[in-house]
């Protein structure tokens, strides 16, 4: 696994480098500004990007959007001290595949990266309540909050149920005896119909509307 680190705090970057390299993970680049991140990341084709939110030159949420616009397809995880619900919402809307807190147990970081590389979304367990409130608030502002899943086909509802239970695309494909590519197409359709950018948001919607049981909580939530 090759990782790009983008964080303006040198001590944090050095600590992350040591942690990851001690677990056999290659740090392809470690940079201290959003501009540097935008410059080096597209050409490195990393497996995953760890991105801080609060940075002085260009905040991580802007960097996130620009990386996606530049064609970076790798999972991007926000790793931050910010528990601000607005930051969480903006990150997920902007295409982040996860939102983790810097005070997490170091032993939980590598499993979170592995989950993200497999196609799961990861959100710090402390923020699941915030995510639920964000989804509930958006539902209150929609014209027909009672039936947000009505446009989904039966197959899409089935796949959404598996997403809400924390399964990756590969796991869903195995359960349903279809290809990974077919699952990916269905997930894209689900996100478009629900008007969300994140599998996490879609999964929370499923839970809130009783389409699936709430996934087990841990140090991070997968979806």
Q: Are strands 48-51 and 2-6 parallel, antiparallel or unpaired?
A: parallel
Flag whether pLDDT at 149 surpasses 60.
Answer: yes
Structure tokens at 24: 């056999």
Given a contact cutoff of 8 angstroms between Cβ atoms, the answer to whether 141 and 214 are in contact is no
Burial pattern 30-42, b for ≥16 Cβ within 10 A else e, equals: bbbbbebbbebbe
d(CA 213, CA 114): 24
Mean pLDDT along residues 204-208? 75
pLDDT greater than 90 at residue 62: yes
- pLDDT on residue 89: 84
- Per the CB < 8 A criterion, the answer to whether 79 and 100 are in contact is yes
Q: Locate 74 and state its tokens.
A: 């790798």
- Mean pLDDT confidence for 78-87: 90
Mean pLDDT (whole number) for 158-167: 84
For position 136, what pLDDT does the model report?
Answer: 60
Decide: 28 and 46 in contact? Cβ < 8 Å: yes
Residue 101 phi/psi, 5-degree rounding, is: -105, 145
Long-range contacts of residues 62-69, Cβ cutoff 8 Å, at least 24 apart: 62/34, 63/6, 63/34, 63/37, 63/38, 64/91, 64/94, 64/95, 64/96, 65/94, 65/95, 66/34, 66/38, 67/37, 67/38, 67/41, 67/42, 68/94, 68/95
- Domain topology for 131-222: Rossmann fold (3.40.50)
Residue 195 is predicted with a pLDDT of 81
pLDDT above 70 (res 213): no
Mean pLDDT for the stretch of residues 200-205? 77
What's the mean pLDDT in 41-47?
Answer: 94
**Arithmetic mean of pLDDT over the chain:** 84
Q: Indicate the domain borders of the chain.
A: 2-117, 131-222
pLDDT at residue 135, as a whole number: 62
Of 7 and 209, the structure prediction assigns the larger pLDDT to 7
Same fold, 2-117 and 131-222: yes
Is 2-117 a CATH 2.40.50.140 domain?
no
pLDDT in tens, 83-131: 888 898 888 888 888 899 999 988 899 999 998 888 777 888 788 777 7
- Among 55-69, 118-132, 195-209, the range with the most confident prediction by mean pLDDT is 55-69
What is the distance between the alpha carbons of residues 110 and 14, in angstroms, rounded to a whole number?
A: 16
């Amino acid at each position: 696994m090759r990782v790009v680190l983008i964080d303006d705090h040198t001590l944090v970057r050095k600590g992350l480098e040591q942690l990851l390299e001690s677990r056999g993970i290659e740090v392809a680049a470690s940079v201290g500004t959003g501009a540097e991140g935008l410059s080096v990341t597209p050409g490195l084709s990393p497996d995953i990007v760890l991105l801080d939110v609060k940075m002085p030159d260009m905040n991580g949420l802007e960097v996130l959007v620009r990386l996606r616009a530049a064609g970076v397809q790798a999972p991007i995880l926000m790793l931050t001290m910010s528990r601000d619900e607005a930051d969480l919402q903006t990150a997920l809307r902007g295409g982040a595949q996860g939102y983790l807190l810097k005070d997490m147990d170091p032993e939980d970081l590598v499993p979170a990266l592995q989950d993200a590389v497999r196609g799961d979304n990861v959100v710090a367990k402390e923020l699941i309540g915030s995510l639920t409130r964000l989804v509930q608030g958006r539902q209150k502002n929609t014209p027909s909050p009672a039936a947000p899943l009505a446009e989904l086909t039966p197959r899409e509802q089935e796949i959404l149920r598996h997403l809400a239970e924390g399964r990756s695309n590969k796991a869903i494909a195995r359960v349903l005896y279809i290809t990974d590519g077919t699952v990916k197409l269905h997930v894209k359709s689900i996100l478009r119909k629900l008007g969300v950018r994140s599998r996490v948001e879609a999964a929370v919607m499923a839970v809130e509307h009783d389409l699936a049981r709430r996934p087990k909580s841990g140090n991070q939530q997968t979806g």
